[in-house]
Amino acid sequence: MSDAVILFRKNCESLSFHPWNVNKTDINLFSEGMESFVSTSSSQRSLSGEHLLYLTDDQLRKSTEAMFFAYRGFTADPDRILEEYGYGRAHHRAIHFIHVSYGTTVNHLLSILGITKQSLNRVLRTLIEDGLVESKIGERDRRERHLFLTDKGRALEKQLSTVQHERMREAFKQSGPEAVAGFRRVLEAMMDKHMHAIYDGLNNDE
């Protein structure tokens, strides 16, 4: 088994889980909050890629299972907080990306979340009515709506991100910096090109 896959599984297994349902579209959030990224040379990445060619189906299945159960743990903590407000993961995703992409437009948020406009409108309507999100008409293009978290929205976002960061930080401490770097490389390599472009755009906005 290649070092990259061993590191990936080690990180996943460090994230204990609770019996909550998993939503596959949420996997985009899993790459947020990464720290201590260590870059590697192109020759090292090429070597890792060659090793991956020899992974067995059983080894790949074990990694898939590790990611599944790690993700259950990753989402379990915020799920419990969201339940207190009557919200779901769609609300969490909207709050998260409105926070990291300050003043994002509705169309930009749609491209990030990959959901229908009707679905997003339902989520935004609830968050706006509850006083967590504010919608403003664009100054240059009045057809656009820009989204901002209110103080109440920022407080909830902080609460949700804190519990996830705590879990990830503990897993990273157990695994070490080399494993953290390998874990992030695996996650980025799993992204489709258009998703990676959106992800890179978020990083550039920070």
Task: Give residue 203's pLDDT.
Answer: 64
Confidence of residue 10 (pLDDT cuts 50, 70, 90): low
C-alpha to C-alpha distance for 176 and 169, rounded to whole angstroms? 10
Going by the DSSP 8-state scheme, the letter that residue 15 receives in this structure is S
Task: Give residue 138's pLDDT.
Answer: 78
Task: Give residue 104's pLDDT.
Answer: 93
* Reported pTM: 0.71
Confidence of residue 108 (pLDDT cuts 50, 70, 90): very high
Going by the DSSP 8-state scheme, the letter that residue 28 receives in this structure is G
| Contact of 187 with 31, CB cutoff 8 Å | yes
Total number of domains constituting the chain: 1
> If you average pLDDT over residues 35-53, what whole number do you get?
47
Task: Give residue 132's pLDDT.
Answer: 98
Query: What average pLDDT does the chain have?
Result: 81
CATH of the domain at 164: 1.10.10.10
Instruction: Flag whether pLDDT at 99 surpasses 90.
Output: yes
Instruction: Flag whether pLDDT at 7 surpasses 80.
Output: no
Task: Give residue 87's pLDDT.
Answer: 97
C-alpha to C-alpha distance for 40 and 48, rounded to whole angstroms? 11
C-alpha to C-alpha distance for 201 and 206, rounded to whole angstroms? 9
Any idea which of 61-65, 92-96, 202-206 has the lowest mean pLDDT? 202-206
| Contact of 109 with 120, CB cutoff 8 Å | yes
Count CB neighbours of 56 within 10 A: 9
Instruction: Flag whether pLDDT at 41 surpasses 60.
Output: no
pLDDT tens column, 150-177: 999 999 999 999 999 999 999 999 999 9
Going by the DSSP 8-state scheme, the letter that residue 56 receives in this structure is -
Instruction: Flag whether pLDDT at 13 surpasses 50.
Output: yes
pLDDT tens column, 126-139: 999 999 999 998 77
Strand partners, 149: 133
**% of residues, the chain, pLDDT over 70:** 72
More confidently predicted of 95 and 102: 95
Range of the domain at 179: 3-205
